């Protein structure tokens, strides 16, 4: 266990004494509304859909649509969707519950593996949209004496609308700091062997626990507009690589473990094949048993619990399907924590070896 001493930096009389010597690890996830009511959902959606990394079309076109249509009509239905999965006990979304747990478990794992003589490592977590805010948690880490901070975007596959915008927010906070901590950003881990093995082990365990054998399994990734990829975003190639490696690890052909993309928004063409259309087509073709796994999500959230577990289940059953399973994400499971702790240990090398 590392010492919790903070090193005060020497200062002449009349000047402030600064703290340093600690290392911070900040887990970053997408975000969540603070409640499911109309105004809370509206605040969350406004922050999310105002991000130029998420919506790239001209502001002259998008602002009227966003403010006059989207933020008027969508908060109510989206709030009802969130309410179906809401953690009522803690009054928060499952994504917030799981991300907090991932940070707490990572802190214990790191603490147990850090020598007493090594600098203290402080683990924290933040959301790109909503709270806890990235800016606030960076300041907390710096005030605690962290002069080196590792940012860990919890997105296995890189996309400008996920990894890049989380980093944008962190760098924006750094721009306002007179004394900036030294920053590292962990890279996407879409083909990391520890991640692939964790996915395969989790999928095998989940399939073994079902009372039916799926005829087809979908590996459903969050979609992005096709134009984003054509402009240079590597997201689709990262998803395809994860899918290929997962098929190999599972010993399944790509037509058994199929690649699809979910969660499209608006009228623009997104990455295909679409998950919902594939689910409907499979049911209509006579497939009766289906499972969906979501390898691009590090924690269960609205897109996995409601969109896959409820909405796509409904599509399947309405069109002739009979047995359906939504496979849980890695979350804060032992395998999920193996992935996160592996990434953190690897990326801290040179600062500390644990």
Instruction: Could you list the residues known to form a binding site, using ranges.
Output: 222, 303
Q: Does the bond joining 114 to the residue before it have cis omega, within 30 degrees of 0? A: no
Whether the CB-CB separation of 308 and 292 falls below 8 Å is answered with yes
**Rounded to whole angstroms, how far apart are CA atoms 116 and 119?**
8
* C-beta of residue 85 within 8 angstroms of C-beta of residue 306: yes
158: helix, strand or coil: coil
Nearest to 341 by CA among 93, 154, 190, 119: 154
Q: Which of helix, strand or coil describes residue 49?
A: helix
**What six digits make up the tokens of 17?**
């004494």
List binding-site positions for Fe(2+): 222, 303
Q: Which residue has the tokens 């999500």?
A: 297
Distance of alpha carbon 129 from alpha carbon 102, whole angstroms: 18
DSSP secondary structure string for all residues of 74-128: SHHHHHHHHHHH-BTTTTB-HHHHHHHHHHHHHHHHHHHHS-TTSPPEEEEEEEE
List the beta bridge partners of residue 28.
126, 153
């Amino acid at each position: 266990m590392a010492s919790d001493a903070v090193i005060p930096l020497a200062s002449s009389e009349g000047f402030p004494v600064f703290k340093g010597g600690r290392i911070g690890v900040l887990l970053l996830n997408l975000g969540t509304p603070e409640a499911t009511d109309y105004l809370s959902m509206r605040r969350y959606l406004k922050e999310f859909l105002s991000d130029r990394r998420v919506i790239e079309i001209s502001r002259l076109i998008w602002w009227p649509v966003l403010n006059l249509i989207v933020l008027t009509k969508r908060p109510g239905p989206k709030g009802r969707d969130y309410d179906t999965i809401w953690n009522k006990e803690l009054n928060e979304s499952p994504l917030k519950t799981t991300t907090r747990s991932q940070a707490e478990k990572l802190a214990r794992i790191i603490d147990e593996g850090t020598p007493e003589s090594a600098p203290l490592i402080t683990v924290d977590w933040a959301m790109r949209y909503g709270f806890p805010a990235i800016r606030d948690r960076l300041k907390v880490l710096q005030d605690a004496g962290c002069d080196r901070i590792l940012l860990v975007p919890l997105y296995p596959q890189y996309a400008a609308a996920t990894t890049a915008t989380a980093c944008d927010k962190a760098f924006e906070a750094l721009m306002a700091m007179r004394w900036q901590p030294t920053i590292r950003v962990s890279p996407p881990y879409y083909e990391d062997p520890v991640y692939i093995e964790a996915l395969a082990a989790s999928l095998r365990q989940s399939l073994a626990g079902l009372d039916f054998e799926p005829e087809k399994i979908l590996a459903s990734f969050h979609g992005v507009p096709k134009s984003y990829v054509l402009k240079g975003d590597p997201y689709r190639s990262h998803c395809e690589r994860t899918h290929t490696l997962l098929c190999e690890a599972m010993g399944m052909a790509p037509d058994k473990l199929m690649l699809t993309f979910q969660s499209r928004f608006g009228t623009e063409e997104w990455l295909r094949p679409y998950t919902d259309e594939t689910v409907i087509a499979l049911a209509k073709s006579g497939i009766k048993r289906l499972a969906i796994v979501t390898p691009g999500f590090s924690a269960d959230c609205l897109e996995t619990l409601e969109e896959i577990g409820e909405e796509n289940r409904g599509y399947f059953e309405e069109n002739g399907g009979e047995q359906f399973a939504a496979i849980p994400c890695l979350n804060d499971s032992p395998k999920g924590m193996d992935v996160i702790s592996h990434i953190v240990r690897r990326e801290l090398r040179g600062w500390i070896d644990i």
